[in-house]
Chains A and B, each alone.
Chain A
């Protein structure tokens, strides 16, 4: 009888593993101790080792599939042995078929094979019966690989798929930055969650609350931005245009441009996946009489400074008059909140879900700073970025903030 190869717990907290890559092909000889596959755990990519000699008879799960610990991923046995004899009952010891017969069984996932959801995870195809069973058993259909027509989840895909067990609390794992895929031509790209990101999400959400915030503050020199603003406004004045550029406009523009260079921050947390936006829609928090609303400056990265000025003021005005249409205050991908006009030096803003970040802008104040060994007075502003740790890690947020600081300290960088 063929030996089952199961997904092993490669780390103490591992409950499931994603089969990243098969390193042995079906039919290849296998020796005990050799690497069969690479498996991504909640911590790292590790090797799944063969525990038996023979030949790799069958790969039960495809590359990219996520499998609970203990589930069969492959069979190792003597050449010609029936790989699935242990699960599908006796079969004639068929000689290799001629022509190579496609095994219906082999092309299907095992009953309990659970994989990360496909790119479009918002809609799950499942039979009415499968939906009922999933509901009853508490199985998330988004995590089940369907074997029916077009990947539809059917009853047998749910056989053996038990309800997920809540994870015991354990130390926050070491974090790495999620790498957004190369931008597609679409409005956004949905990237499935990796194991490590799932773990980050679960741990941080249970320890810090629904949205696990952390904060980064940067002190930004605004001397050159002030010079640039004055020059631009003089020019606009000469051209007879009444509309002047504000510091807020410059900050909005700089944030929008920085986001195009740090797509990891221009993202939505979507529970089972992260949506990395290829468009920048900036929410700008505006205080209104009985609260706060965040009108959206659409395509902020593509607009000129003067255009941003006009649109932002118009939106803020209508926000205060409570005349915004729903589409004008929804759909932002990142937000900016400015309390500088209230003489607030610095503050932390609360993230506007599902966005992953917001920049809080304090007042621009003259400060004594050391330049070239001499104490001089420069106008400075403190920017504090709130990050959703499920999406943005410390270094990712810091890199974004550094770019933003560079752009404001050297406005010409915005032309780069």
Chain B
């Protein structure tokens, strides 16, 4: 039977394609169904192209201050169109990389929209595929607007990250609604490309899920760069014109109007649960609209699993790909290590970067934990001084009794790379002492991690 597989994965994003590779490694005949390009949102219109654009922004930022380093760059000119085209190339390379991986592991890739049917079947166009062992749902998520206040995405004056990633040129001015990872990153990019940016966040502080110290550090940094930051702000009305949008914003009791050439909606994502045949297969959703899964990521219908964004938060590629590995192993009859959802690192790639893992200080207080906070600023770090990137800090929250690392927060250049030392530590239940005992090379930014660990014990050496 040509249309029979052991495992059928619906969706070729990071969760789906990783699941397929692991299943193939375990000897299962595997198919992936993808309606667009392999790699999903992450590779094509998410993580990867934004990182390319953020690097363009970083270069622009570096060059504008390079005279102080004895390098005269003259007048710095930016061209978003060129940066965008480069980011597309990078995304395409990655997507082709995923195609190559599918071939390498002899995974059948089927182009089209799959619809689930009972009996572990998936209909793609006129074909019906059958899975002998399991169907894995990895349909992901998409951006959504806020239609209630008249901010429906129209792809010209009201755009989402999907459109922002494909602009040939920058808008005259931009209001970014939502200061989570996506909003923060685009505010950074467009600011570096010379666009006046207003960043609007409904919650009391930008990066609302991060530690309050991280939010404050970024607000300070953004304001210094000329980004208007309005937090705790309610957009009460939006008037969308032909080439401008007027937003009525209420913040801290004060009302103001923001006139902007374009609005970028960076608030919230919707999961792709429509038109995939969930109901027909008896697959239930949670109150928040995610697919309901048990601790083995099994849906309410036997033989159907869900992974990645559709299976619930955090909606992060690395969480989805780990779920893909675990589900593939479960289907193959192995007993994989349980995922520790409290140990998924979270990173925002704005400048300076923000990376965190575990609890923030507010959560420690809410849970009435007996903790000590250790902090070390990069302004006291030799390497950071050398590169002129002294913004930010490392903050480690230590359980006072046992030394457990309750949470860690890094703001600074390369924070995204430094957080993994603490991810490894937490996964293996190292305490702050073990983090300090590991000798850190000098001079490195990472020394600040060891110093913050020491500071949580009240014995930082270099401050």
Name the contact of A129 in the complex, choosing from B134, B296, B333, B404 (C-beta under 8 A): B404
With A128-B434, A132-B431 as contacts: A98 and B303 at CB distance below 8 Å: yes
- How near does chain B come to A89, taking the closest CB pair, in angstroms? 9
The reply to whether the CB of B375 lies closer than 8 angstroms to some CB of chain A is: no
22 contacts between A and B (CB under 8 A): A88-B295, A91-B294, A94-B294, A97-B296, A98-B134, A99-B303, A101-B298, A101-B331, A102-B333, A102-B334, A104-B330, A127-B429, A128-B428, A128-B430, A129-B403, A129-B404, A129-B429, A130-B429, A132-B402, A132-B403, A132-B431, A136-B402
Interface residues of B in 140-182 (CB under 8 A from A): none
Name the B residues within 8 Å of A91 (CB-CB).
294-295
Interface residues of B in 295-310 (CB under 8 A from A): 295-296, 298, 300-303
Interface residues of B in 425-448 (CB under 8 A from A): 428-431, 433-434
Q: What is the CA–CA distance of A92 and B296 in the complex, to the nearest angstrom?
A: 11
B302 pairs with A128, CB closer than 8 A = no
The reply to whether the CB of A107 lies closer than 8 angstroms to some CB of chain B is: yes
With A99-B303, A99-B333, A129-B402 as contacts: A105 and B295 at CB distance below 8 Å: yes
DSSP majority for the B interface?
A: loop
The reply to whether the CB of B244 lies closer than 8 angstroms to some CB of chain A is: no
Name the A residues within 8 Å of B296 (CB-CB).
97, 101-104
A94 pairs with B429, CB closer than 8 A = no
The reply to whether the CB of B338 lies closer than 8 angstroms to some CB of chain A is: yes
The reply to whether the CB of B123 lies closer than 8 angstroms to some CB of chain A is: no
Q: What is the CA–CA distance of A103 and B335 in the complex, to the nearest angstrom?
A: 8
Name the B residues within 8 Å of A105 (CB-CB).
295
A99 pairs with B134, CB closer than 8 A = yes
- How near does chain A come to B372, taking the closest CB pair, in angstroms? 15
With A92-B294, A105-B295, A129-B403 as contacts: A98 and B302 at CB distance below 8 Å: yes
Name the A residues within 8 Å of B430 (CB-CB).
127-129
- How near does chain A come to B253, taking the closest CB pair, in angstroms? 42
Across the interface, name the chain B residue whose C-beta is closest to A82: B294
Q: What is the CA–CA distance of A405 and B394 in the complex, to the nearest angstrom?
A: 76
- How near does chain B come to A251, taking the closest CB pair, in angstroms? 55
Interface residues of B in 334-378 (CB under 8 A from A): 334-338
The reply to whether the CB of B401 lies closer than 8 angstroms to some CB of chain A is: yes
Q: What is the CA–CA distance of A102 and B333 in the complex, to the nearest angstrom?
A: 6
A155 pairs with B429, CB closer than 8 A = yes
Known: A100-B333, A128-B431. 18 other contacts (CB 8 A): A91-B294, A91-B295, A92-B284, A94-B294, A94-B300, A94-B302, A97-B298, A97-B303, A98-B120, A98-B133, A98-B302, A101-B298, A102-B334, A107-B335, A129-B430, A136-B401, A154-B429, A155-B429
Across the interface, name the chain A residue whose C-beta is closest to B300: A92
The reply to whether the CB of B121 lies closer than 8 angstroms to some CB of chain A is: no
The size of the chain A interface, using a CB distance under 8 A, is: 27
Q: What is the CA–CA distance of A281 and B404 in the complex, to the nearest angstrom?
A: 47
- How near does chain B come to A26, taking the closest CB pair, in angstroms? 16
Top-4 shortest CB links A-B: A127-B429, A129-B429, A98-B303, A95-B302
The reply to whether the CB of B395 lies closer than 8 angstroms to some CB of chain A is: no
A94 pairs with B330, CB closer than 8 A = no
Q: What is the CA–CA distance of A155 and B428 in the complex, to the nearest angstrom?
A: 10
Name the B residues within 8 Å of A88 (CB-CB).
295
Across the interface, name the chain A residue whose C-beta is closest to B399: A129
B330 pairs with A127, CB closer than 8 A = no
A128 pairs with B429, CB closer than 8 A = yes
The reply to whether the CB of B292 lies closer than 8 angstroms to some CB of chain A is: yes
CB-defined interface of A132-165 with B at 8 Å, one 1/0 digit per residue? Answer: 1100100000000000010000110000000000
- How near does chain B come to A82, taking the closest CB pair, in angstroms? 9
Q: What is the CA–CA distance of A104 and B298 in the complex, to the nearest angstrom?
A: 12
Name the B residues within 8 Å of A127 (CB-CB).
428-430
DSSP majority for the A interface?
A: loop
Name the B residues within 8 Å of A103 (CB-CB).
296
Name the A residues within 8 Å of B428 (CB-CB).
127-128
Q: What is the CA–CA distance of A91 and B298 in the complex, to the nearest angstrom?
A: 11
- How near does chain B come to A2, taking the closest CB pair, in angstroms? 16
A133 pairs with B335, CB closer than 8 A = no
Q: What is the CA–CA distance of A107 and B429 in the complex, to the nearest angstrom?
A: 21
Name the B residues within 8 Å of A97 (CB-CB).
296, 298, 302-303
Across the interface, name the chain B residue whose C-beta is closest to A153: B429
- How near does chain B come to A211, taking the closest CB pair, in angstroms? 37
Interface residues of A in 14-49 (CB under 8 A from B): none
The size of the chain B interface, using a CB distance under 8 A, is: 31
Name the A residues within 8 Å of B334 (CB-CB).
102
A94 pairs with B402, CB closer than 8 A = no
B338 pairs with A104, CB closer than 8 A = yes
Name the B residues within 8 Å of A98 (CB-CB).
120, 133-134, 302-303
The reply to whether the CB of A96 lies closer than 8 angstroms to some CB of chain B is: yes
Across the interface, name the chain B residue whose C-beta is closest to A135: B402
Name the B residues within 8 Å of A102 (CB-CB).
296, 330, 333-335
A149 pairs with B431, CB closer than 8 A = no
Across the interface, name the chain A residue whose C-beta is closest to B326: A104
CB-defined interface of B398-429 with A at 8 Å, one 1/0 digit per residue? Answer: 00011110000000000000000000000011
Q: What is the CA–CA distance of A358 and B193 in the complex, to the nearest angstrom?
A: 88
Q: What is the CA–CA distance of A127 and B427 in the complex, to the nearest angstrom?
A: 10
Name the B residues within 8 Å of A133 (CB-CB).
402
B431 pairs with A129, CB closer than 8 A = yes
Centre residue among A92, A94, A97, A100 by max chain B CB count within 10 A: A97
Q: What is the CA–CA distance of A50 and B402 in the complex, to the nearest angstrom?
A: 41
Name the A residues within 8 Å of B333 (CB-CB).
99-100, 102
B433 pairs with A128, CB closer than 8 A = yes
A92 pairs with B429, CB closer than 8 A = no
Interface residues of B in 267-315 (CB under 8 A from A): 284, 292, 294-296, 298, 300-303
Name the A residues within 8 Å of B294 (CB-CB).
91-92, 94
CB-defined interface of B75-87 with A at 8 Å, one 1/0 digit per residue? Answer: 0000000000000
Q: What is the CA–CA distance of A59 and B420 in the complex, to the nearest angstrom?
A: 37
Across the interface, name the chain A residue whose C-beta is closest to B333: A102
Across the interface, name the chain A residue whose C-beta is closest to B404: A129
Name the A residues within 8 Å of B335 (CB-CB).
102, 104, 107
Name the A residues within 8 Å of B429 (CB-CB).
127-130, 154-155
Across the interface, name the chain B residue whose C-beta is closest to A88: B295
Name the contact of B133 in the complex, choosing from A95, A99, A128, A136 (C-beta under 8 A): A99
Across the interface, name the chain A residue whose C-beta is closest to B335: A107
Centre residue among B294, B335, B428 by max chain A CB count within 10 A: B294
Centre residue among A88, A128, A149 by max chain B CB count within 10 A: A128
Q: What is the CA–CA distance of A200 and B173 in the complex, to the nearest angstrom?
A: 84
Q: What is the CA–CA distance of A155 and B399 in the complex, to the nearest angstrom?
A: 13
Across the interface, name the chain A residue whose C-beta is closest to B327: A101
B295 pairs with A96, CB closer than 8 A = no
Across the interface, name the chain B residue whose C-beta is closest to A132: B402
- How near does chain B come to A42, taking the closest CB pair, in angstroms? 33
Q: What is the CA–CA distance of A136 and B303 in the complex, to the nearest angstrom?
A: 45
Q: What is the CA–CA distance of A108 and B335 in the complex, to the nearest angstrom?
A: 10
B302 pairs with A96, CB closer than 8 A = yes
Q: What is the CA–CA distance of A92 and B290 in the complex, to the nearest angstrom?
A: 14
Q: What is the CA–CA distance of A128 and B433 in the complex, to the nearest angstrom?
A: 9
Name the B residues within 8 Å of A129 (CB-CB).
402-404, 429-431
Across the interface, name the chain A residue whose C-beta is closest to B329: A102
- How near does chain B come to A276, taking the closest CB pair, in angstroms? 33
Q: What is the CA–CA distance of A384 and B460 in the complex, to the nearest angstrom?
A: 65
- How near does chain A come to B122, taking the closest CB pair, in angstroms? 15
Name the A residues within 8 Å of B434 (CB-CB).
128
Q: What is the CA–CA distance of A290 and B284 in the complex, to the nearest angstrom?
A: 84
Q: What is the CA–CA distance of A107 and B330 in the complex, to the nearest angstrom?
A: 12
Q: What is the CA–CA distance of A107 and B295 in the complex, to the nearest angstrom?
A: 13
Across the interface, name the chain B residue whose C-beta is closest to A96: B302
Q: What is the CA–CA distance of A364 and B337 in the complex, to the nearest angstrom?
A: 68
